[in-house]
Amino acid sequence: MPSPSQLTQSLKSESKRLGFALARCTAAVDVVTMPYLEGWLDSGMNGEMEYMQTRREAYRHPRSVMESVASVIVLALPYQTVAPVTGQPNSGRIARYAWGTADYHDIVHKRLKQLCKFAQSLDSAIVTRGVVDTAPLLEREFAQHAGIGWSAKNTMLINRDIGSYFFLAALLVNQPLDYDAPFVADHCGTCTACIDACPTDAFVSPRVLDANKCISYLTIEHRSPIDVELRPQMGNWILGCDICQEVCPWNRKPHAIGEDSFRPLADHNPLPMLKLFDLTDDDFRTRFRKTPLWRPKRRGILRNAAIALGNEANPEAIPALHRGLNDCETLVRGASAWALRRFKSQTALDHLQRRAAIEDDAYVLSEIHGTYPAN
């Protein structure tokens, strides 16, 4: 068995070879911020992410992910590539992390499997498990323990060298390692750019995010109709949101450039929205199955696109929204109805009246008529 120092160096060197920009080590310990997490969950700020409530006790210690864990290696993989393209009509914005040819979970998991295999080759007694974003592990807390960066006011983890545009992953190891010093400084200072820039006022206070108002949550995890009061503030975001990162001073200087798989597909920066309403379920699956756009499914993306088109109110979008108004999904019909009412044109009004005559869903009818219950 390699010594803790030898094992640490070997795993860090292999991590770098696999493309991870940072690899830092910390002990597997109880989560310090558990009282904050519990209070956050009790307040309902997790929205429809009920899995977090279900797994709340599992977040308490990494042993819930791997019983024999002794150490955690936290890994960072930058994904920043080119600048976002804005200002194109009828086009929706996608968060940078979702621009590429594949879902980042698949890319990172492949490398983690290689790292696990490498660790096993060093000694058969070494047990590992790689996780990225799906296991009940608070990666950002352990990243701070491992010295990668600090938890910013926008709840993102920031590293002084590469900013915040990076994926976090973790390798759980059943052996002691040489641990890095924790990151204890807070380099946000008095800056509140991220809080001030959020169009939906999703930050209750510094480092406290109400997911119910977060555009990223609303466009991905939220599966119901989006609060009518929030829709105008969503702009043209249809998957995720980068606003609180874009305004961060730590992301202004050039950072490490992400690999080719994170570079935007031709129509992902931005995404033309009108043709989305022509896609059947099978069409959508074929086009987006291996990308992050698959997570909200067709109905979620079309809901988001309808809201974005309603916010832009370009008359060219009316035929597409008419198709959405007659979609098989109530979620899409309702969002399209809201969007068409934003145009205040006779053509849009005619479409709404014709749909109202045959619509039998109460929710869709409320969107057609703009009759929303008082909060």
What was the pLDDT predicted at 266? Answer: 84
pLDDT at 12 over 60: yes
* Domains contained in the chain, number: 2
280: left (phi over 0), alpha (psi -120 to 50) or beta: beta
Q: What is the domain range of residue 151?
A: 4-173
What was the pLDDT predicted at 1? Answer: 85
Same domain, 159 and 296: no
The model's pLDDT over 328-374, given as tens digits with 9 standing for 90+, comes to 999 999 999 999 999 989 999 999 999 999 999 999 999 999 998 76
Q: Identify whether 217 is part of a domain.
A: no
Last residue of a domain, one of 112, 147, 173: 173
Same domain, 45 and 167: yes
Q: Identify whether 239 is part of a domain.
A: no
Q: Identify whether 169 is part of a domain.
A: yes
* Amino acid of residue 239: L
Q: Which of 132, 133, 169, 134 is nearest to 148 (CA)?
A: 169
Same domain, 165 and 306: no
Last residue of a domain, one of 120, 147, 173: 173
Query: How many whole angstroms separate alpha carbon 112 and alpha carbon 132?
Result: 9
What was the pLDDT predicted at 374? Answer: 63
The model's pLDDT over 201-213, given as tens digits with 9 standing for 90+, comes to 999 999 999 999 9
Same domain, 165 and 282: no
Higher per-residue pLDDT: 85 or 101: 85
pLDDT at 166 over 70: yes
The model's pLDDT over 240-273, given as tens digits with 9 standing for 90+, comes to 999 999 999 999 986 657 688 898 988 899 999 9
Query: How many whole angstroms separate alpha carbon 163 and alpha carbon 156?
Result: 10
**Mean residue pLDDT across the chain:** 95
What was the pLDDT predicted at 373? Answer: 73
Same domain, 148 and 295: no
Q: Identify whether 199 is part of a domain.
A: no
Beta bridge partners of 205: 208
What was the pLDDT predicted at 256? Answer: 59
Q: Identify whether 262 is part of a domain.
A: no
Contacts of 88 (CB under 8 A, 6+ apart): 270
pTM of the model: 0.95
Same domain, 160 and 283: no
Active centre residues (catalytic) = 133
Q: Identify whether 318 is part of a domain.
A: yes
Q: Identify whether 241 is part of a domain.
A: no
Last residue of a domain, one of 173, 208, 234: 173
Q: Identify whether 231 is part of a domain.
A: no
What was the pLDDT predicted at 69? Answer: 98
